[in-house]
Amino acid sequence: MGALLPSPGTLRRLSWLALLLLAPPLAALEVAGGVRLLRAADEQPADYPTVQAVQFMGQSLYRQSGGRLAIQVYSASLLGDEAALVPPTQRGELDLNRVSVQTLEDLCPALRVLSLPFLFRDVEHLGRVLDGPIGAELLQALDGHGLVGLAFFETGGRVIGTVGRPVRRLEDLKGLKIRVESSALAAAIVEAWGARPVRLPFSQTGNALATRLIDGAEGNLLAYAGAEHHRHAPSLALTRHSFAPEVLVISRRSWDRLSTAEQGMLRRAAREARPLVRDIWQQREERVEAMLRLAGVNFVEIPASERARFEAALQPLHERLAGGAGQRRLIARIRALR
């Protein structure tokens, strides 16, 4: 009788665990033997602001704990794309995971409000929301889903890069295949604009643009530049339709293995990292925009009259998502914040 072979799902999980255990560390901290390392994943490259922030947290944690606890960051999708890493994080196979709130909206519907189009006036408005009671409530909403929310990171307004014709008017999106994150809301937004949403892992987006599998991609400016999507999609429509932030989560199982003092250290490090991301992001956006303009990227500003048409097309979506009394109250609190 032949040996029983593991199922394909089991093989994939074993392969993932092997990579987690054997992958070479990136920007490794110089720590003495015996230090406990929390393993963190990010699909963005090593110089991306959120990666730098978690590296900063690792250094802070190392200092606070007297060299007993630190963070090792695996960036550039080394362990996989963020959506695929959510279940391993819930299971405790990965400690920390930086993900877009759009990735978590099905798991934790309360977070969906942060991705609603045209809800935030600008990134400063979003920052005031995240820094206050609403942000704390939304982080707490992750409890019960196998995750603990540590911090939100602002990532600027979302834009649309296209391969062919630039998007200047709502009609220019009609029929285009636009890559979106693994998010029902993101797909519904571009669909309401007449485009065809295509859900793809971020790591596959560049190749899909190069081969014209898709006509464009929706995302933030630094991700667009960092993955060199401008080489294939040189027109950038500055719709700034959403300011969906990113969130750093830790596995509930990993969290429970930390002492109360260590949990406090980690929360302190996360609080300190928030303004760091904000500052790095603002400075990086200015430099990246200048670089992209020199590279020939066509930045398309959307005039107020046309922006109003983009927003009006999404009104039915807003009404559907704001159907519950709790959701409507939350949206009203966000809009009222000055």
CA distances from 132 to 114, 126, 338 (A): 14, 10, 12
* Phi, psi for 75 (deg, rounded to 5): -105, -175
Residue 33 DSSP symbol? T
Alpha-carbon gap, residue 246 to 243, rounded angstroms: 10
Contact (CB, 8 A) for 105 and 310: no
Residue 82 resides in a domain = no
For residue 14, tell me if it sits in a domain. Answer: no
Euclidean distance between CA atoms 334 and 175, whole angstroms: 33
Q: Which contiguous run of DSSP H or E holds residue 115?
A: none
Do the domain assignments include residue 259?
no
Q: Is residue 181 part of a domain?
A: yes
> Does 62 map to a domain?
no
Cross-strand bridge partners of residue 251: 147
Amino acid symbol at 249: V
Rounded to two decimals, what is the model's pTM? 0.86
Find, among 119, 82, 31, 50, the residue nearest to 281 by Cα. Answer: 50
Interacting residues of 317 by C-beta distance below 8 A, sequence separation 6+: 117, 188, 189, 192
Q: How many domains does the chain have?
A: 1
What does each of the 338 residues of the chain score in pLDDT, given as a tens digit? 333 444 444 444 444 444 444 444 333 333 447 899 999 999 999 999 999 999 999 999 999 999 999 999 999 999 999 999 999 999 999 999 999 999 999 999 999 999 999 999 999 999 999 999 999 999 999 999 999 999 999 999 999 999 999 999 999 999 999 999 989 999 999 999 999 999 999 999 999 999 999 999 999 999 999 999 999 999 999 999 999 999 999 999 999 999 999 999 999 999 999 999 999 999 999 999 999 999 999 999 999 999 999 999 999 988 887 667 888 899 999 999 98
Tokens matching residue 173: 């999106």
**Residue with the two structure tokens 């799902």:** 9
Domain that holds residue 182: 158-243+287-336
Q: In whole angstroms, give the CA distance from residue 155 to residue 65.
A: 30
Task: Provide the 3-class DSSP secondary structure of residue 149.
Answer: strand
Residue 236 domain flag? yes
The answer to the question of residue 222 being in a domain is yes
Name the burial class of residue 6, with classes exposed (0-12), middle (13-18) and buried (19+) by CB atoms within 10 angstroms of its CB: exposed
Q: Is residue 252 part of a domain?
A: no
Distance CA 166, CA 176 (A): 11
Q: Is 173 within 8 Å of 190 (Cβ atoms)?
A: yes
How far is 288 from 223, CA to CA, in rounded Å?
Answer: 10
Check: CB of residue 49 under 8 Å from CB of residue 222. yes
| CA 30 – CA 28 distance, rounded (Å) | 6
Supply the CATH number for residue 299's domain: 3.40.190.170
